[in-house]
Structure 1
Amino acid sequence: MKFNQTKLAVKKIKENKRKLLGAYVIGVILFCFSCKELKANNEIGLASAKELDTFNLESLIADCETQLEISVPKLTDLSKHPRLIETGKKEWKEVPNNRLVWTSGFYPGVLWYMYDISQNEKWKLEAIKRTEVFDSFKTITEHHDIGFMMFPAFGKGYELGGKKEYKDILLTSAGSLASRFNPQVGTIRSWSNKMHPRWKQHITIIDNMLNLELLFWAAKHGGDTKFYDIAVKHAETTMKNHFREDYTSWHVLEYDSITGAVLNRHTKQGYADNSRWSRGQAWGVYGYTMVYKETRDKKFLEFAQKITDKYLSLLPDDYVPCWDFDVANNPKEEKDASAAAVVASALLDLSEFVDNKKDQERYYDAALKMLESLGSDKYSGVGKTDSFLLHSTGAKSLGHEINVALIYADYYYIEALDRLKKIREKGKL
C-alpha cells in the first residue's frame, strides 16, 4: 500500500512537472511574442519619432554658427554683400549693395537670426554693422523688392535685436513700396518695364507676395492704415489671377494698367510660360501663410493650405524640388534648395495656424523632412563651402545661378531653424 502511494506520488510529481514545463513553454512563447510585438510597436513608435524628428536641431544650428565663424571674417567690405557661391568654389561672391540688387537684406537677416538663436552679442554687433550701411534704400521706388531688401535687415533688427530706432526707416520703406500700388489693377507693380521690356504694362510677379510683410508690419507700428488695405488687396488679386485650377502658380502676370484686365501669364525664371516654377510656388506658400498670420482671415488660410498641399504632392522623396516641377523627371535637371528652405520655414508657421491636429502634424512632419534633407551631407555646405546650403538654382532659364549656394536659401533655412527652436521651447508638437 505504501509502495502504491509512493508510486502515485511520483506520478503526480511528474504530471506537475509536465504541467509546469508546459506552462513555462507557453510562458516563454507568450513572452517572446510579447517581446516581438513590443519590439514591433517600438519600431513603429521609433519610426514615427524618426519620421518627425530624425535630426539634431542643436547640431544643425551649430553647423550654421560654424559656417558664419568661417565666412564673416572674410566679408569685410561693407559696400557689398554675399550673393552666391559658384559651383566648385568655396567662398561667397559678393555684389554691391546698390538700389537695384534685391538680395542685400538677406545677409544681415542671417546674422540677426543667429543672434536670436544664440544670444551671442558678436552676431548682433555684426548684424548692426551689415544692416545700417544701406538705410538710404528706404526711398527705393524703382522696383518692388524694397520689402526683400529692408525687412530681413531692419525688420529683423527691430524684432529680434530690439533696435527700435529702425522704426522710421521701416515706415518710410513701406511708404515707398505702397507708392507702386495701382488701384485699377489691385496689385503692387513689380520690376519696371525698362528692366523687363517684354512686358509693356503693369507687371506683378508671385515673388511680390513676400514684400507684403513690410506693409503689414508698418500698419501695426504707426504707419498709414492704407498699408494694410493695400497688402490685403494685393493678396486677394493675386489669389484670383495668379493660380491655375490645380493651385499651381504662374510667375509673371501682365495687367492692363487702366482696366486691370489680365493681358498675359508668363515666366521669367521658370522653364516655360506654362510650367510650374518650384520657387514661385514656394513664394506663394510662404506669402499666403504670412498673409493669414497678419490678417487671421480664414480665406487666406484655406488658400495657403491648398497651394501647400499641391506643392507637397509634387515633391520627390528627399523633399527638395527640382528647379521647375515640369522638368523634374529629367535626372540631369538641377535642384533648388532655396525653394525647400522657403517652404520649410512657412510650414512651421502653418502647422501652428491650422486647427486640425492631423494637418498640424502633417505640415510639421513635412517641414522636418525638408530640414533633414537640407541639413544632410547632400545639401549642407559644411566642410565644402562657406554657405549653409548647396544646390540652389536662381535663374536657370536666364543662364545663371545654376546649382549654386544662394544667400536667400541660407536666410530662409536659418529662419526655419529659429522657428523650430521656438516651437520646441513652447512644447508644441
Structure 2
Amino acid sequence: MNKLCCFFLVLTLAFLNTGCKSDAKSSEEKVEVRFNSALENRFQKLVDYPVVADNFPKGMSLNPEEVRTEPSRDWTSGFFAGNLWLIHKLTGDSTYKTKAEAWTVLVEDQKENDRTHDMGFKIYCSFGEGLKQDPNNQYYKDVIVESAKTLITRYNDSVKSIRSWDFKKDVWDFPVIIDNMMNLELLFEATKISGDSIYHNIAVQHANTTLKHQFRADHSVFHVVNYDTISGVVKTKDTHQGFNRNSTWARGQAWAIYGYTMSYRYTKDPKYLAQVEATTKFYMEHENLPKDGVPYWDFNDPEIPNAARDASAAAIVTSALFELYTYTHNKTYLDFATIVLDTLNSEAYLLKETVNGPFILDHSTGNWPKNDEIDEPIVYADYYFLEALTRKRNLDLK
C-alpha cells in the first residue's frame, strides 16, 4: 500500500486551536485534522529553516539540491512567513507561530517601497496572515495601512489603475499585469482597518479597468496591458511570462480567478462574479487541461503533453474555488477543487521527504521564457496550497 496512505498524523484540534467552535458544532465536539506523514515531514522542514534577514526562501533547484533565496524587496518575500502562519493555523503548534512572527518582522522594511506593485504579496501574505490570527495586533494593522498608503502612490487617475512595473520603459508606458489583481486585498483590508475609503475605491477602479481590458472574448487573459499615461487608452496587449501574446499563461488565468473571487468578497459586484465564473469555465473545460487538474505552464505550449506543469497555478485556482463555492454553492467548483487538492497532496506532487529544502510542493514553473525555475519547488505554490487546505478544513467544519 502507498506509504502516504499508511501513516497518518491525527491532530485533534478545536477550531483554530483557540477554543472557538464553528456555529454548526457543539461546544464539546472536537475536530480531527489528518495530515499524511509526508506532509507533516514537509512542515517540519519549514520550521527548521533558520531565520536570516534578506534570505527568504523562494525556490529550489533539485539538481543540484540548492535553496534559492531572495532579499525582502523580491515580490515573493512575504510568502514564507505566510506559510508558517498557515501551518500554525492548521496544526495549532506554537512553534510555527514563533517562526512566523520572526519572518514577518523581516518584511516590514518594504512598507515604504514605492517601486513595486507587489505590496500585497509581500505585506498581506505575511502581516495579513498574522493579523488574521492576532486581530488586535496594532503593529500589524499599522504596517498594512502604511503599505497600502505606499501602494496607491502608483495609481494613475487617467488610466484608473495601479502601475505594475517600472522596467522596460522603452517598451511600455504604463504596464498593468493580471497578477496585480492579487495586491488589491491589501487595499480592501486597509480601508477596513483605517476607515479611509480611498484604498477601497482605488482597488475597485483598478479591478474595473482590468475587467474591461485584460480579458479576451473567450474569457482567457492577457498578461500585460500597456496604457497611455495621459489619455488612459490601451496601447498594446502582450505577455511577459506566457508562450506568446495570444497564448493562455496558466498562472495568469489563476491570478484572474483568484483576484476577482477575492474582489467579489469585498464588493459583492455581480460583474466580478460573472467574470470569475466565465474564466473558471474556460480553465476547467480547456482541452489541454490534464485529467489531474494540474495545468501545463501555458495552455498553448506546442510541446504539450511534454510541456512543464505548474503546480502553483493549480494551487491558486484550488484555493480560489473553495471560496467561490461559498458564493455560488455550485458543487462543480467544490468537487474540482477537492480533486486537485488531493492530487497536490499526494506522492506525485509533494516534495520527497529526503529533500531538505523548506518547501512542500514540487513541479511548479516560475518564468518559462527566461528558463527560470522550471519544474521545481516554489514558495508561493506552497502558500496557496496551504491556504486551500485551510479553506477546505473550514468548509468541512460547517
Match of 2:24 in 1: none
Cα distance in 2 between the residues matched to 1:160 and 1:63: 26
Match of 2:60 in 1: 85
Whichever residue aligns with residue 166 of structure 1, its letter is Y
Aligned length: 362
Match of 1:74 in 2: 49
Cα distance in 2 between the residues matched to 1:57 and 1:338: 23
Match of 1:266 in 2: 238
8 A contact 1:116–1:161 mirrored in 2: no
In structure 2, the CA distance between the partners of 1:186 and 1:264, relative to structure 1 (3 Å rule), is same
Per-residue CA shift, 1:198-245, capped at 9, x if unaligned?
A: 523111000000000000000111152111111111111101100000
Cα distance in 2 between the residues matched to 1:346 and 1:147: 16
Q: Which moved more, 1:380-389 or 1:262-271?
A: 380-389
Match of 2:69 in 1: 94
Whichever residue aligns with residue 342 of structure 1, its letter is I
Cα distance in 1 between the residues matched to 2:312 and 2:231: 36
Whichever residue aligns with residue 379 of structure 1, its letter is Y
In structure 2, the CA distance between the partners of 1:223 and 1:74, relative to structure 1 (3 Å rule), is same
Per residue, is there more helix in 1 or in 2? 1
Residue 252 (structure 1) aligned to one of 208, 224, 232: 224
Quote how far apart the aligned CAs of 1:96 are.
2.1
Q: Give 1 or 2 for the bigger CA radius of gyration.
A: 1
8 A contact 1:171–1:223 mirrored in 2: no
Cα distance in 1 between the residues matched to 2:160 and 2:33: 42
Residue 298 (structure 2) aligned to one of 311, 316, 324: 324
Cα distance in 2 between the residues matched to 1:71 and 1:232: 36
Match of 2:147 in 1: 173
- Aligned positions of 1:367-378 closer than 5 A: 367-378=337-348
Residue 117 (structure 2) aligned to one of 144, 159, 164: 144
Q: Equivalent residue of 2:140, what SS?
A: helix
8 A contact 2:41–2:353 mirrored in 1: no
Quote how far apart the aligned CAs of 1:91 are.
5.0
Quote how far apart the aligned CAs of 1:389 are.
0.5
Q: Which moved more, 1:101-110 or 1:372-381?
A: 372-381
Unaligned runs of 5+ in 2: 1-31
Unaligned runs of 5+ in 1: 1-55
TM-score, normalised via structure 2 length: 0.87
Cα distance in 1 between the residues matched to 2:38 and 2:316: 19
Match of 1:239 in 2: 211
Cα distance in 1 between the residues matched to 2:376 and 2:216: 30
**2:377 equivalent to 1:401:** no
Quote how far apart the aligned CAs of 1:330 are.
2.1
Quote how far apart the aligned CAs of 1:320 are.
0.3
Residue 85 (structure 2) aligned to one of 112, 116, 128: 112
Match of 1:58 in 2: 34
Cα distance in 1 between the residues matched to 2:219 and 2:279: 5
Cα distance in 1 between the residues matched to 2:46 and 2:210: 38
TM-score, normalised via structure 1 length: 0.81
In structure 2, the CA distance between the partners of 1:319 and 1:144, relative to structure 1 (3 Å rule), is same
Overall identity of the aligned pairs, in % = 38
8 A contact 1:255–1:262 mirrored in 2: yes
Cα distance in 2 between the residues matched to 1:264 and 1:351: 35
Q: Equivalent residue of 1:401, what SS?
A: strand
Match of 1:21 in 2: none
Match of 1:345 in 2: 319
Quote how far apart the aligned CAs of 1:186 are.
1.2
Cα distance in 1 between the residues matched to 2:95 and 2:138: 19
Q: What stretches of structure 1 move > 4 A for 4+ residues in a row? A: none
